[in-house]
Protein backbone atom coordinates (compact mmCIF):
# COMPACT_ATOMS: atom_id res chain seq x y z
CA UNK A 1 0.00 0.00 0.00
CA UNK A 2 1.39 3.39 -0.99
CA UNK A 3 1.59 6.38 1.32
CA UNK A 4 -1.62 7.92 -0.01
CA UNK A 5 -3.54 4.72 0.65
CA UNK A 6 -2.20 4.52 4.18
CA UNK A 7 -3.14 8.14 4.76
CA UNK A 8 -6.71 7.55 3.61
CA UNK A 9 -7.01 4.37 5.72
CA UNK A 10 -5.74 6.12 8.86
CA UNK A 11 -8.03 9.10 8.18
CA UNK A 12 -11.11 6.91 7.86
CA UNK A 13 -10.19 4.94 11.01
CA UNK A 14 -9.67 8.17 12.90
CA UNK A 15 -12.99 9.57 11.74
CA UNK A 16 -14.78 6.41 12.86
CA UNK A 17 -12.97 6.34 16.22
CA UNK A 18 -13.68 9.99 17.00
CA UNK A 19 -17.31 9.70 15.92
CA UNK A 20 -17.86 6.56 17.99
CA UNK A 21 -16.26 7.91 21.17
CA UNK A 22 -18.15 11.22 20.85
CA UNK A 23 -21.41 9.32 20.43
CA UNK A 24 -20.67 7.21 23.51
CA UNK A 25 -19.84 10.33 25.49
CA UNK A 26 -23.12 11.97 24.48
CA UNK A 27 -25.00 8.80 25.40
CA UNK A 28 -23.49 8.88 28.89
CA UNK A 29 -24.56 12.51 29.26
CA UNK A 30 -28.08 11.56 28.21
CA UNK A 31 -28.11 8.75 30.82
CA UNK A 32 -26.95 11.22 33.48
CA UNK A 33 -29.70 13.68 32.53
CA UNK A 34 -32.30 10.90 32.64
CA UNK A 35 -31.20 9.82 36.11
CA UNK A 36 -31.11 13.41 37.34
CA UNK A 37 -34.74 13.67 36.29
CA UNK A 38 -35.49 10.46 38.21
CA UNK A 39 -33.72 11.83 41.28
CA UNK A 40 -35.84 14.98 41.12
CA UNK A 41 -38.98 12.84 40.91
CA UNK A 42 -37.87 10.83 43.96
CA UNK A 43 -37.26 14.03 45.93
CA UNK A 44 -40.67 15.35 44.91
CA UNK A 45 -42.40 12.15 46.05
CA UNK A 46 -40.58 12.19 49.37
CA UNK A 47 -41.89 15.71 49.98
CA UNK A 48 -45.52 14.68 49.45
CA UNK A 49 -47.88 13.97 52.32
CA UNK A 50 -47.88 10.31 53.39
CA UNK A 51 -50.03 8.13 51.14
CA UNK A 52 -52.92 6.69 53.19
CA UNK A 53 -52.92 2.93 53.68
CA UNK A 54 -56.26 2.46 51.88
CA UNK A 55 -55.05 4.46 48.88
CA UNK A 56 -51.84 2.42 48.74
CA UNK A 57 -53.70 -0.90 48.81
CA UNK A 58 -56.04 0.23 46.04
CA UNK A 59 -53.22 1.07 43.61
CA UNK A 60 -53.00 -0.98 40.45
CA UNK A 61 -49.68 -2.83 39.96
CA UNK A 62 -48.69 -0.55 37.06
CA UNK A 63 -49.14 2.51 39.30
CA UNK A 64 -46.76 1.32 42.01
CA UNK A 65 -43.50 2.58 40.38
CA UNK A 66 -44.86 6.14 40.40
CA UNK A 67 -45.22 5.93 44.19
CA UNK A 68 -41.75 4.57 44.98
CA UNK A 69 -39.99 6.52 47.77
CA UNK A 70 -43.25 8.10 48.89
CA UNK A 71 -43.99 7.99 52.60
CA UNK A 72 -46.83 5.99 54.11
CA UNK A 73 -47.94 4.53 57.44
CA UNK A 74 -49.18 0.94 57.70
CA UNK A 75 -51.12 -0.53 60.58
CA UNK A 76 -51.02 -4.24 61.31
CA UNK A 77 -49.52 -7.18 63.16
CA UNK A 78 -46.03 -8.57 62.68
CA UNK A 79 -45.62 -12.17 61.48
CA UNK A 80 -42.22 -12.93 63.06
CA UNK A 81 -42.32 -16.62 62.11
CA UNK A 82 -41.67 -15.55 58.51
CA UNK A 83 -38.78 -13.17 59.24
CA UNK A 84 -35.86 -13.32 56.81
CA UNK A 85 -32.39 -11.83 57.27
CA UNK A 86 -30.66 -10.65 54.07
CA UNK A 87 -26.95 -11.24 54.44
CA UNK A 88 -23.97 -9.07 53.43
CA UNK A 89 -25.79 -5.76 53.87
CA UNK A 90 -23.83 -2.72 55.02
CA UNK A 91 -24.72 0.14 57.30
CA UNK A 92 -22.29 2.67 58.74
CA UNK A 93 -19.47 0.77 56.97
CA UNK A 94 -20.21 -2.44 58.87
CA UNK A 95 -21.45 -5.81 57.62
CA UNK A 96 -24.73 -7.24 58.84
CA UNK A 97 -28.28 -8.12 57.85
CA UNK A 98 -31.42 -6.40 56.66
CA UNK A 99 -34.28 -7.80 58.72
CA UNK A 100 -37.39 -8.44 56.61
CA UNK A 101 -40.70 -9.26 58.33
CA UNK A 102 -44.20 -9.49 56.81
CA UNK A 103 -46.86 -7.24 58.30
CA UNK A 104 -50.45 -8.52 58.36
CA UNK A 105 -52.43 -5.36 57.74
CA UNK A 106 -55.27 -4.37 60.02
CA UNK A 107 -57.88 -3.85 57.32
CA UNK A 108 -61.46 -5.11 57.36
CA UNK A 109 -62.45 -7.41 54.54
CA UNK A 110 -58.91 -8.17 53.36
CA UNK A 111 -55.96 -10.26 54.43
CA UNK A 112 -53.29 -8.13 52.76
CA UNK A 113 -49.70 -8.68 53.86
CA UNK A 114 -46.81 -6.29 53.13
CA UNK A 115 -43.12 -7.14 53.44
CA UNK A 116 -41.27 -4.61 55.61
CA UNK A 117 -37.54 -3.94 55.65
CA UNK A 118 -37.45 -3.21 59.36
CA UNK A 119 -33.81 -2.30 59.91
CA UNK A 120 -30.20 -3.43 60.03
CA UNK A 121 -28.77 -5.96 62.47
CA UNK A 122 -25.01 -6.36 63.09
CA UNK A 123 -23.37 -9.65 62.26
CA UNK A 124 -22.87 -12.23 64.98
CA UNK A 125 -19.11 -12.80 64.64
CA UNK A 126 -19.15 -15.64 67.19
CA UNK A 127 -21.64 -17.69 65.16
CA UNK A 128 -22.14 -16.72 61.54
CA UNK A 129 -25.33 -18.75 61.05
CA UNK A 130 -27.05 -17.22 64.10
CA UNK A 131 -28.62 -13.78 64.46
CA UNK A 132 -28.06 -11.42 67.35
CA UNK A 133 -31.24 -10.89 69.39
CA UNK A 134 -33.73 -8.22 68.32
CA UNK A 135 -37.31 -7.46 69.32
CA UNK A 136 -40.54 -7.84 67.40
CA UNK A 137 -43.48 -6.02 69.04
CA UNK A 138 -46.62 -8.04 69.69
CA UNK A 139 -50.06 -6.74 68.82
CA UNK A 140 -51.18 -4.03 66.42
CA UNK A 141 -48.41 -1.60 65.46
CA UNK A 142 -48.10 1.43 63.19
CA UNK A 143 -45.09 1.35 60.88
CA UNK A 144 -43.94 4.52 59.12
CA UNK A 145 -41.73 4.12 56.08
CA UNK A 146 -41.20 4.67 52.39
CA UNK A 147 -42.64 2.60 49.57
CA UNK A 148 -40.20 0.42 47.62
CA UNK A 149 -40.72 -2.08 44.81
CA UNK A 150 -38.36 -4.85 45.95
CA UNK A 151 -35.35 -5.53 48.18
CA UNK A 152 -31.99 -4.63 46.67
CA UNK A 153 -30.33 -7.68 45.13
CA UNK A 154 -26.75 -8.86 45.50
CA UNK A 155 -24.93 -11.30 43.27
CA UNK A 156 -25.56 -14.87 44.37
CA UNK A 157 -24.08 -18.12 43.00
CA UNK A 158 -27.10 -20.20 44.00
CA UNK A 159 -30.45 -19.04 42.65
CA UNK A 160 -32.36 -20.96 45.32
CA UNK A 161 -32.84 -18.73 48.36
CA UNK A 162 -34.10 -20.57 51.41
CA UNK A 163 -33.88 -20.37 55.17
CA UNK A 164 -33.92 -17.50 57.61
CA UNK A 165 -30.53 -16.17 56.47
CA UNK A 166 -30.26 -15.73 52.73
CA UNK A 167 -28.61 -13.49 50.17
CA UNK A 168 -31.65 -12.23 48.29
CA UNK A 169 -35.42 -12.29 48.48
CA UNK A 170 -37.82 -12.20 45.55
CA UNK A 171 -41.29 -11.09 46.61
CA UNK A 172 -43.15 -13.34 44.15
CA UNK A 173 -41.16 -16.43 45.15
CA UNK A 174 -41.46 -15.56 48.83
CA UNK A 175 -45.23 -15.22 48.46
CA UNK A 176 -45.42 -18.81 47.20
CA UNK A 177 -43.00 -19.98 49.88
CA UNK A 178 -44.97 -18.67 52.87
CA UNK A 179 -48.42 -19.05 51.33
CA UNK A 180 -49.61 -15.56 52.25
CA UNK A 181 -51.20 -12.84 50.04
CA UNK A 182 -48.03 -10.75 49.95
CA UNK A 183 -48.39 -7.51 48.00
CA UNK A 184 -46.08 -6.66 45.08
CA UNK A 185 -44.32 -3.87 46.95
CA UNK A 186 -42.55 -3.45 50.27
CA UNK A 187 -42.02 -0.83 52.94
CA UNK A 188 -38.65 0.44 54.17
CA UNK A 189 -39.26 1.36 57.79
CA UNK A 190 -37.97 4.78 58.82
CA UNK A 191 -37.21 6.27 62.20
CA UNK A 192 -34.64 6.11 64.98
CA UNK A 193 -32.94 2.91 66.09
CA UNK A 194 -35.30 0.66 68.01
CA UNK A 195 -35.93 -3.01 68.80
CA UNK A 196 -32.20 -3.68 68.36
CA UNK A 197 -32.25 -2.49 64.73
CA UNK A 198 -30.63 0.52 63.03
CA UNK A 199 -32.38 2.50 60.31
CA UNK A 200 -29.62 4.76 58.97
CA UNK A 201 -30.61 4.09 55.37
CA UNK A 202 -28.38 5.72 52.76
CA UNK A 203 -29.95 8.05 50.23
CA UNK A 204 -30.92 6.30 46.99
CA UNK A 205 -27.97 6.41 44.61
CA UNK A 206 -28.59 6.36 40.87
CA UNK A 207 -24.92 6.53 39.87
CA UNK A 208 -25.21 9.92 38.17
CA UNK A 209 -21.58 10.83 38.91
CA UNK A 210 -20.45 7.59 37.27
CA UNK A 211 -22.10 8.56 33.98
CA UNK A 212 -20.34 11.94 34.00
CA UNK A 213 -17.07 10.14 34.66
CA UNK A 214 -17.64 7.78 31.75
CA UNK A 215 -18.56 10.72 29.50
CA UNK A 216 -15.32 12.48 30.41
CA UNK A 217 -13.35 9.34 29.56
CA UNK A 218 -15.01 8.96 26.16
CA UNK A 219 -14.53 12.63 25.27
CA UNK A 220 -10.91 12.44 26.42
CA UNK A 221 -10.34 9.39 24.22
CA UNK A 222 -11.88 11.24 21.26
CA UNK A 223 -9.51 14.16 21.87
CA UNK A 224 -6.55 11.77 22.15
CA UNK A 225 -7.40 10.03 18.87
CA UNK A 226 -7.77 13.37 17.10
CA UNK A 227 -4.55 14.69 18.64
CA UNK A 228 -2.53 11.62 17.63
CA UNK A 229 -3.90 11.83 14.10
CA UNK A 230 -3.04 15.50 13.85
CA UNK A 231 0.49 14.90 15.14
CA UNK A 232 1.44 11.80 13.15
CA UNK A 233 -0.37 12.59 9.90
CA UNK A 234 0.05 16.35 9.60
CA UNK A 235 2.43 18.13 11.97
CA UNK A 236 5.24 15.61 12.28
CA UNK A 237 5.54 14.86 8.51
CA UNK A 238 5.64 18.57 7.71
CA UNK A 239 8.29 19.28 10.31
CA UNK A 240 10.38 16.42 8.96
CA UNK A 241 9.98 17.69 5.44
CA UNK A 242 10.99 21.16 6.55
CA UNK A 243 14.11 19.83 8.29
CA UNK A 244 15.12 17.96 5.13
CA UNK A 245 15.02 21.07 2.91
CA UNK A 246 18.52 22.20 1.76
CA UNK A 247 19.92 25.18 3.63
CA UNK A 248 20.16 28.11 1.16
CA UNK A 249 22.99 29.60 3.18
CA UNK A 250 25.37 26.80 2.22
Give pLDDT tens digits for 87-134. 999 998 899 999 999 999 987 767 799 999 999 999 988 887 889 999
pLDDT(17) > 70: yes
- Check residues 166 and 154 and name the one with the higher pLDDT: 166
- Check residues 81 and 108 and name the one with the higher pLDDT: 81
Q: How far is CA 132 from CA 1, 79, 121, 185, 188, in A?
A: 74, 19, 7, 27, 21
Rounded to whole angstroms, how far apart are CA atoms 60 and 56? 9
pLDDT(25) > 90: yes
- Cβ neighbours around 204 below 10 Å, total: 14
What is the model's pLDDT at position 109? 65
The residue extents of the domains of the chain are 3-40+208-243, 48-189
Mean pLDDT in the chain? 89
The winner for highest mean pLDDT among 14-23, 153-162, 239-248 is: 14-23
**Which residues are CB-neighbours of 17 under 8 A, at least 6 positions away?**
222, 225
What is the model's pLDDT at position 38? 80
Q: How far is CA 133 from CA 97, 99, 117, in A?
A: 12, 12, 17
Rounded to whole angstroms, how far apart are CA atoms 153 and 171? 12
pLDDT(184) > 80: yes
Amino acid sequence: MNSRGRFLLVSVATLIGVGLTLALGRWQLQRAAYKEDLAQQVQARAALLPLPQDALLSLAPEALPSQAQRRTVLRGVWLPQHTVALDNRQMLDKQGFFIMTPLQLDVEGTSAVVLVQRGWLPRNFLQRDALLPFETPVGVVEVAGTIALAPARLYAFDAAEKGTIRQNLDIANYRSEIGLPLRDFMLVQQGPAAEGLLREWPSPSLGIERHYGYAFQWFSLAALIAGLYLWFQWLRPRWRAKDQLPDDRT
